[in-house]
Structures are given as C-alpha cells and as structure tokens.
C-alpha cells in the first residue's frame, strides 16, 4: 500500500502577550472555524498559529490511519516526502515554519543572522543560538498592516532628527551629529553612525522615554504637525496617549516602512561585517508562500505537484480534497491546514459556490 502523503493537520496556537485578544484575533477565528470543539477565551491573546514541526509547536496529524501522532514524527520516518533537494540540503527536516500572526501591540525588535554568521554563533554559544541555520522571513499582509524592516535612507532619518526634538533628545547630540556627518562619507561611516543612533535609542532609560513621549504627545495634540514625524498617524489613532507609543513606535523614524501598495516584506538578515543596513533591500528567498485565489464559479481546482513538501492553509472557502494516495476525501474549510508531500498533486472540489483564498508554503531550491 502506498504511503499516504497528504493529510490534514491540527496546529499549535501561541498566546504571546502582544497578540489580539479572543475572537478579535484572526488566529482565534481561524482556529474556531476549523475546529468546532475549540473554546476561545476572550480574555487571552491569540498571537500566532504555527504550521510546521517546531519542537514547541509540532502539528498533530488528523488521520487515525497514520501511526505517527505529529508531523515531525511522520517526516522523520518518511523523509522522501520532503523532496530530494530539500531532504539533502536540510538533513531530512522540514526547513520552514508557516505562521499566521495577529498583532495588537508592537513586537520586540528582532535581528536574524545570515547563514554564515548563524553557523559561527551556533559554534560559539549553542545555548543562545541552538540553530545553525539562518532564518529568512517573508511576511504577507492578510489585512492592512504596518511593519518596520531595515533602516530608512540616512537623509530621511536626519530630517526626523531635525523636526522632532524629542527624537533628537533620545538619540543624543553626539550620535545625531555623527549621523549627519556620515552623509558625506563611506558606507562604513554610515553603518557606525546608525549603530550609535539605534543603540542610544534602545538603551534609553524607561523614565526618560516616558518623559519624552509625554512631551511629544502634548506637542502634537496642540499643533498640526503631521508632517513632522513618521508615526503621526499611529499616534492619532492611539488617541494621543503614550500608553500606545513606545520605543518601537519611535523606531519608525529610523526604520523603513514598505509602501501601502506592497502586500509583503522580506526582513533582511545581518552579518558580522555589516549588522546595520541603511537601505531596505528585499532578498530572493528559497522559501516561498503562494497565494491562490479561485472564483466560486470553478467547481474543481488542482493544486500542482512540487519537488518540495508544502503546507496549505485555507483562509476562505470550503472544499473536499482528494489524492491518489489518500484513502478518503478530506474536508477543508476556513482555517483548515493540509500537509502535501513532495511530488503530490491535490484535487480540490468546491462544496459551496464561494471564492477560495489559500496560501501554500514550500521550499523551492
């Protein structure tokens, strides 16, 4: 009997403090839609839905005919399902973690090393860097969303330093002067100046930050200064209260914000030689997320085979899925997650005449 290589998954939800609360969270809504037994707690945050084999969130297999209980266990015994290139390159492990995020407040500032530096840090301090792999990321907006990614052109940062005295105060005169002078120098001088500005801002004492934020909120509530700062819209939406604006918000004056026309961003990796990037430069990742939209007038849609294992998330619509290896059809509706082994195609039959919206994560080497 052929090994079943397509099956539904039950995935792990992470309840980080920054997530949206209860049914206000898209993560919670996807969970409730896919699992009628799920109980959503309105007083708890639902921040991330993890679809993969991470040790802290290994997806459960929803098929009683499969002996292994989790996706990680199944892949360990069926490594060919990854695809030949993926299997050899990543030592028989699924090399990506597919997520849905539902964000209420600013996340912590993150910086991921590139492959070369990740290997070096892993050797030097495995307790702090347990993974020798880099972590390239791609984020796709399901709803209107704003993210900070890399650094703005230095000229823009200098403009904010000039127009926003509270920002200048937290950066410090010396660091601000260094950045202004770097405009006429080489890239190493720019990187050093950015490092100094960012370090001063992030290391500012909480008391001082609160004082400057109060001054900032008071000033922009008393005058029309929309043009003076990058984060004016956020501040107005927050009701001009410092409770909702903090150091990450001030980082908008340092960081690059993709234009509203972009629906995705690629956080840049950092190296030991150049950990501070002055301009956002999206890489070309090996890891891909495909967006699939199917009109409700189509009765059947085929998900094509790839030389990579993939994970499919149903965001909108209701279908039954069938394959050559599956013993029975699989019902999928909003929030449903499907694992698809390498070189497997899947036929989706629409059970309701409503448009489908799906996302498929894979690794194309």
Task: Confirm or deny that 42 is annotated as ligand binding.
Answer: no
Which three-class secondary structure state does DSSP give residue 127? coil
Active site residue 237: yes
DSSP 56: T
Backbone angles phi and psi of 316, in degrees to 5: -150, 135
For residues 337 and 2, the answer to whether their CB atoms sit within 8 Å is: no
Name the E strands within the chain: 6-10, 12-14, 20-21, 45-46, 48-51, 60-61, 98-101, 139-140, 264-265, 287-294, 300-303, 310-316, 319-322, 330-332, 337-340, 346-350, 356-363
- Secondary structure, 3-state, 260-299: CCCCEECCCCECCCCCCCCCCCCCCCCEEEEEEEECCCCC
Place of tokens 């703005």: 152
CA distance 282 to 279: 10
Do the bridges between strand 300-303 and strand 310-316 make them parallel or antiparallel, or are there none, so unpaired?
A: unpaired
Which of 29, 56, 152, 237 is flagged as catalytic? 237
Task: Confirm or deny that 48 is annotated as ligand binding.
Answer: no
Task: Confirm or deny that 110 is annotated as ligand binding.
Answer: yes
Which three-class secondary structure state does DSSP give residue 143? coil
For residue 125, give every residue at least 6 positions away whose Cβ sits within 8 Å of its Cβ, in sequence order, or none. Answer: none
Q: Which residues are catalytic?
A: 237
Binding residues: 110, 112, 137
Binding residues for Zn(2+): 110, 112, 137
């Amino acid at each position: 009997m052929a090994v079943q290589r397509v099956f539904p998954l039950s995935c792990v939800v992470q309840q980080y403090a920054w997530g949206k609360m209860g049914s206000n969270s898209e993560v919670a809504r996807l969970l409730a839609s896919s699992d009628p037994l799920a109980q959503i707690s309105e007083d708890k945050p639902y921040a991330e839905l993890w679809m993969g084999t991470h040790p802290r969130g290994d997806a459960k297999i929803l098929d009683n005919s499969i002996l292994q209980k989790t996706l990680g266990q199944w892949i360990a015994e069926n490594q060919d399902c990854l695809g030949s290139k993926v299997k050899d390159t990543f030592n028989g492990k699924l090399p990506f973690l597919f997520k849905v995020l539902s964000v209420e407040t600013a996340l912590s500032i993150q910086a991921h090393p590139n492959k070369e530096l990740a290997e070096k840090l892993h050797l030097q301090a495995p307790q702090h860097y347990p993974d020798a792999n880099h972590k390239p990321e791609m984020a796709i907006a399901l709803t209107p969303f704003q993210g900070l990614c890399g650094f703005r052109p230095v000229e823009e940062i200098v403009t904010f330093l000039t127009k926003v005295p509270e920002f200048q105060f937290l950066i410090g005169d010396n660091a601000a002067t260094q950045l202004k002078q770097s405009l006429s120098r080489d890239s190493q001088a720019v990187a050093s100046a950015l490092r100094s500005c960012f370090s001063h801002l992030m290391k500012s004492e909480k008391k001082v930050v609160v004082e400057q934020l109060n001054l900032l909120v008071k000033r922009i509530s008393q005058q029309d200064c929309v043009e003076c700062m990058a984060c004016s819209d956020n501040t107005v939406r927050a009701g001009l209260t410092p409770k909702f604006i903090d150091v990450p918000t001030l980082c908008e004056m340092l960081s690059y914000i993709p234009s509203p026309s972009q629906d995705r961003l690629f956080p840049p990796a950092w190296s030991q030689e150049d950990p501070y990037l002055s301009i956002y430069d999206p890489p070309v990742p090996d890891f891909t997320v495909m967006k699939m939209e199917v009109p409700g007038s189509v009765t059947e849609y085929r998900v094509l085979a790839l030389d990579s294992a993939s994970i499919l998330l149903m965001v909108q619509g209701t279908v039954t899925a069938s394959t050559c290896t599956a013993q029975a059809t699989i019902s999928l509706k909003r929030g449903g997650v499907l694992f698809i082994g390498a070189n497997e195609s899947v036929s989706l039959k629409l059970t309701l005449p409503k448009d489908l919206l799906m996302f498929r994560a894979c690794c194309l080497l």
